[in-house]
Amino acid sequence: MAGANNKRQVFNSLLEVLRKFIAFDNAIVLTRDDEASDLHVLMSTVTTLDFSHWQVGSTFNRCINGECIALYSPKDIEEFKNKSTDLLDICNSSLITGVKISSGDAMIILMSTEKRTFHF
């Protein structure tokens, strides 16, 4: 990642490292500038999702505050309920973690088309 010249290269390098340890099909990085804002897509492996906004509910709040959460049925979670069927078709399980950054909050969502992919 140190040799990356832009956000896309950093994102791709991060995914390359994560894939060595975690099996996933797609990933999204969400960010926001302040606690009152929705999250927006910074980077995604699914280009049709690059401009979507995500509301922050209790699950995302927990992730932003340091938890790593595996979802075995994302469609049942508040933050995913208003998402397109195209997204829900490729996200039958997900692993979500968030971090506080100097400019706001960031979160990464790893997605799998398979159910119950992520285990702790």
Which pLDDT does position 117 carry in this prediction? 79
- Report pLDDT digits (tens) over 4-16: 567 788 888 889 9
- Give the separation between CA 12 and CA 73, rounded to whole angstroms: 26
Grouping H, G, I as helix, E, B as strand and the rest as coil, residue 5 is: coil
Residues 74-110: pLDDT tens digits? 999 999 998 988 889 999 999 999 987 777 899 999 9
- The residue ranking higher by pLDDT, 80 or 117, is 80
46 three-class SS: coil
How far, in Å, CA of 85 to CA of 19, rounded?
A: 25
**Half-sphere exposure (Cβ direction) of 76: Cα atoms closer than 13 Å:** 6
Q: For residues 71 and 74, what is the distance between their CA atoms, to the nearest angstrom?
A: 6
